[in-house]
A = this chain, B = another copy of it.
């Protein structure tokens, strides 16, 4: 198991971790298998989207913040219920295929850590590579 460490910069943020995941796959030496990403937090998620235009990330976060407002008569007294809800709407795990020693993702796809209760230091994504 490897750990990708990162800091988020805003209350809601998307951080591109594509290269770090690709590196983990290469470093493993595994030629065929799967790569599992797991987010060990309750106010963050992992997703895929078009990496080339930062406006895509802005649109995703704006839309999600509108669907799940920061304040909404929530009962949870820590004040971050919106972040918990967004994390469950996105997802805590993501699996990809490894083929011929490379991570198999689409040409437009980037892998993003999604911060929903930032900014925070020392966020993590766990990476597990399985051969098979």
Residues of A bordering B, CB below 8 Å: 1, 33-34, 36, 38-42, 47-50, 53, 55-56, 58-60, 63-64, 67-68, 72, 74-78, 81, 84-85, 87-97, 99, 104-106, 108-109, 126, 128, 130-132
Contacts of A63 in B (CB 8 A): 68, 72, 81, 85
- 13 inter-chain pairs at a CB distance below 8 angstroms, sorted by A residue, are A1-B99, A33-B130, A38-B104, A42-B48, A42-B106, A55-B77, A56-B84, A59-B74, A60-B84, A67-B67, A91-B91, A97-B128, A131-B132
Asked if B109 and A126 sit within 8 Å, CB to CB, the answer is: no
CA distance A74 to B57 in the complex (A): 11
- Checking B58, B85, B90 against A88 with a beta-carbon cut-off of 8 angstroms, the contacting residue is B90
Asked if B42 and A59 sit within 8 Å, CB to CB, the answer is: no
Asked if B42 and A108 sit within 8 Å, CB to CB, the answer is: yes
A34-B33 contact in complex given A81-B56, A93-B94, A95-B93, C-beta closer than 8 Å: no
In the assembled complex, the CB of A76 is this many whole angstroms from the nearest CB of chain B, namely: 4
Asked if A97 and B59 sit within 8 Å, CB to CB, the answer is: no
| Nearest B-chain residue to A61, judged by Cβ | B85
